[in-house]
Structure formats: C-alpha cells, structure tokens
Structure 1
Amino acid sequence: MTKPKPPKLFLLDVEGTIAPLSLVYEQLFPYARAHFQTFLQLHCADPGVANDLTMLAEECAGETDETAPRFTTPEYWDEAIPYLNWLMDRDRKSTALKSLQGRIWKGGFERDELQGTLFDDVPKALERWSTAAHVAIYSSGSVAAQLLLFRHSNYGDLTQLISGYFDTRTGPKTSSASYESIASAMACEPREIMFFSDAVRELDPAREAGCHTRLVMREGNAPVEDSHGHRRIKSFNVL
C-alpha cells in the first residue's frame, strides 16, 4: 500500500481544536460584552469602527428573525449594543460582530487582561508541522483576533509558525467553496490540505472540497455520536 503524502497545509480551527471552548465563552465573549459601551462611545467615529457599524446595520436590515433588536442607523451607536448581545447569545458568525470583538480584545490583550490559552500539544505541533509544510488558521473569529490569540498566547508569540489566517470574509466554514478558496490562497490543492475541527458540520464540506480531515475530540467539547467517517483524534501528538 502506498503511503499517503504528508499535507502541504495544516489548516486549523480554533475553538475546541487548538484552544478550549472556555477561552471563548468564559473569557473573550464576556470581555467583549463588558466593553461594548465604553469602546463604541470612544471609537464610534474611527473609520474602521464606523465601517463595522454600517455593516452591522446592513446585516440587521436583512435579519429574518423577528426577535432581533433593530439597529438601522450606524450613527446611533448605542442602539447597536442590544443587537450585538443578541448575536452573541446565538453565536452568530456575523462579520461585523467579529470585527468589533477583535478591536475590543486587542486592548485587552495589550493590557494583559486577556491571554490566548492553547492546549498543551499545540506549540510543539506547530513547530513540527511548520518545518516541512505550512500552517494556517480558519476561524469564525476575525483575522485580527486570531493574530492576537497567537501573539499573546500562554506559550508566547507563536505567529512566526503560522503562514495564513482566514475568517468569515473567506466564506462560511460550512461551504466547500471556502476550502477551495483557502487552497487557492495558499497555493496548494484541496487534496494537499488536512483540516482539523471539532465540528462535523465543518469537516463535511472540507472533505467535499477534497481536503483530508480530522475530528478533534478535546476535553470540554460536546460529544459527537456520528463522526460521518472523519478520523477522530484526541491530541496532535499522534501526527
């Protein structure tokens, strides 16, 4: 039997894959909620923040859920907060929300009020993989937030080990076209990618695009009854 070729790109999800879910739901999300008011009051006129608020209002205008708070006028930044919290309550993959969260987290990381907690096997795996291939991150969190996580991790600055970062601007993680776009951006074929995630709904479209997949089973993750044929791993030490 011919031994399969090693991947040219190790593509990694964040939550439940390289970082515990508690990082997001017990640290990052509460921090963003607590700072929306002050941050928007101070920075609503900044061009980048104003653009996020405009995008958020456009998203709200297209909202089909009648329970959503209304936010239609970007200049009235205080009206954005109920909608932002509503989106977070539902873990919506809103590009505008993710961008605003990343801006708020930036201050938290730089003031050492936040730290990117990674699983113990992650740094060595990144070192090992990056010597012979590329490593990239694909997360619902913004690219800016991803950079903060790895620059301010509990193992120091690991950004030199990562070649690419992708977020919802690439496309949803539930679309096979997103993985084809990442392959193109990283100058490889989908079949040369190994994608790691804790979510079968993300692994299925990656496999459909031609990627190899691994279902990551970390402590604290929700149990998975049907892996849909994706190989399960509990640690990166096996690769």
Structure 2
Amino acid sequence: MTGPHTEVVVLDIEGTTGSLTYVRDVLFPYARRELAGWFTRHAQESRVRQVAEDVRTELDRPDLDTDGVVAALAAWSDADVKAAPLKTVQGWIWAEGYASGALHGHVYPEVPAALRAWKAAGVRVVIYSSGSAAAQLDWFRHTAYGDLSPLLDGYFDLRSAGSKTDPASYRTLAGAVGAHPGRLLFLSDAAAELDAAVQAGWHAVGVRREGDPRGPAVPRHRTVATLDPLLPGPSSASRPQETPASPESPQSHEVSPP
C-alpha cells in the first residue's frame, strides 16, 4: 500500500503501466516507417527546424543537411538510442497516429482503477518516461479505456528532468512537483532507475509483469506484479477492473525484454 506520507507517485510507462511489446512492436516501428516522409512534410516548421538544429548540435555537425538529419534520426531509432531530438519527433509522429485512430496507448487492466484510487486518496500521480511529455499525454489520452489524462498531474521526460539513471534527475523532479524526496514513490521495471531514485532520497518499488522473461523480481528492490498492492482503500480482490472500450484487449500484449 502507498505509505501514509506519500504525496506523489511517479510512474514509468514501458513495463510498468503499459506493455513493452506494444511500444517496441507497434509504436517504434510506426514512427520509423513514417519518419522520412513526416520530416519532409514538416521540415519548414519552426519546431522541426529547431529539432534539426538539436541533432546537429548533438552530433557536432553544424553543416548537416536535412537528409543527414533524417538519417541520424533513423540511425538512432534503429539503435534504440534515447536521444531527446528523436523522442520529440517520435512524439509528433505518434500524435498524428493517435488522432487518426491508427494508434492507441496501452495500459494494463488495473491501471485506470489505480489512478482513480490514488486521486481519490489525494495522492498526485505524474509520469516520468524517456518518451517526450507530449507523447506521454497522447498515450494516456487514447487508451482502450478512454481518456485517462484527467487522472494525471504531470509529465516529465529527458528534456524536463534528465536521464532516468541519474540521481540528479530525481532531485530536479522533486523540486518541480514541490515535494520532499521522502514523500515521493517511484515505480519502474528498471533497477538502475530505481537505484537512482533511492540515491536521491525517494522510495522506490519495482514492477515486473507476469511472464516477463527477466524474471519476477527487479534486482535490489521490493517488486510487485501489478499496481494493486500499492493502492489505498479496498484490496485488489474487491477493486473492480475496467473493461476496455475497444475490441482489442490490452492483455494481448505481453512484456518482452528490453
């Protein structure tokens, strides 16, 4: 159960509230397929020109042309590099996919009720993921359970908070939400991220979904298989799960290794 002094719960997405498989098998390939065409269509927009400059800066290649920028983004995508310019562009591409109905954000069946339980208890819930804040918002706005974004209080990414394996990022995030580190709880499937949060004075709990080939426990951390054991109020046995509005069941996406 969330401790009586917990003010803010900070949630990871992949492997924690949503499936790794959906991200890796659906979202990433979708953005990769659309990347070149999307960038060409939007190349003259100020936001896209700024991303192009960010790529040149990151590569120390001020002379890189648009084709070179797209090639760099594609290479980062193929290598699963968590580069902020790539995450930003992926988020924009996904936004169009969500708007068209080609994509939806995956969440596990107990997540909507968990978010409602925390909100009812006065606990703020924010998201901290390597995907852009805009992509996070779109993810929770377009789930099979409807729009869950009203249940969330903020979104943090690599630009706004920093690397998820750096304790300084968690100190930054604590300041941003205005909470003492000891009143923050972080949930993630990655031991290195949980380690960093603990080093910053946070509480942290690992999440490993059933069937995860990495095993049932996150090394060095208390681990749960669902969010239910961490919730205030009724037990998981008496807490109803919601039914997805779409015909595709979120349970169809099993967790895969990173």
Whether TM exceeds 0.5 here: the answer is: yes
Gaps of 5+ in 2: 231-258
> d(CA) in 2 for partners of 1:12 and 1:34?
29
The 3 A distance-change label for structure 1 pair 82 and 220 is farther
1:227: Cα distance to partner? Answer: 3.8
The residue type equivalent to 1:15 in the other structure is: E
> d(CA) in 1 for partners of 2:177 and 2:103?
30
Spell out, residue by residue over 1:30-73, the C-alpha distance to the aligned partner (whole angstroms, 9 max, x if none): 01111111111110110001101110121122xxxxxxxxx654
1:4: Cα distance to partner? Answer: 4.9
The residue type equivalent to 1:183 in the other structure is: A
Q: Is the 8 A contact 1:135 1:162 kept in 2?
A: yes
Q: Secondary structure at the match of 2:80?
A: coil
The 3 A distance-change label for structure 1 pair 4 and 129 is closer
Instruction: Tell me what 1:99 maps to.
Output: 88
> d(CA) in 1 for partners of 2:17 and 2:196?
20
Instruction: Tell me what 1:15 maps to.
Output: 14
Q: Secondary structure at the match of 1:33?
A: helix
Instruction: Tell me what 2:185 maps to.
Output: 194
Instruction: Tell me what 2:171 maps to.
Output: 180
Gaps of 5+ in 1: 62-70
Aligned length: 227
> d(CA) in 2 for partners of 1:178 and 1:107?
30
Among candidates 75, 78, 84, match of residue 67 of structure 2? 78
The residue type equivalent to 1:147 in the other structure is: L
2:143 is the counterpart of 1:153: yes
> d(CA) in 2 for partners of 1:179 and 1:227?
19
The 3 A distance-change label for structure 1 pair 113 and 217 is same
The residue type equivalent to 1:230 in the other structure is: H
> d(CA) in 1 for partners of 2:102 and 2:94?
9
Instruction: Tell me what 2:157 maps to.
Output: 167
Instruction: Tell me what 1:5 maps to.
Output: 4
Instruction: Tell me what 2:47 maps to.
Output: 48
> Identity across aligned pairs (percent)?
38
1:92: Cα distance to partner? Answer: 1.4
CA-based RMSD: 1.7
Instruction: Tell me what 2:201 maps to.
Output: 210
1:140: Cα distance to partner? Answer: 0.2
The 3 A distance-change label for structure 1 pair 220 and 102 is farther
Instruction: Tell me what 2:57 maps to.
Output: 58
TM-score (norm 1): 0.90
Instruction: Tell me what 1:122 maps to.
Output: 111
TM-score (norm 2): 0.83
Instruction: Tell me what 1:144 maps to.
Output: 134
The 3 A distance-change label for structure 1 pair 222 and 198 is farther
The residue type equivalent to 1:238 in the other structure is: P
Q: Secondary structure at the match of 1:203?
A: helix
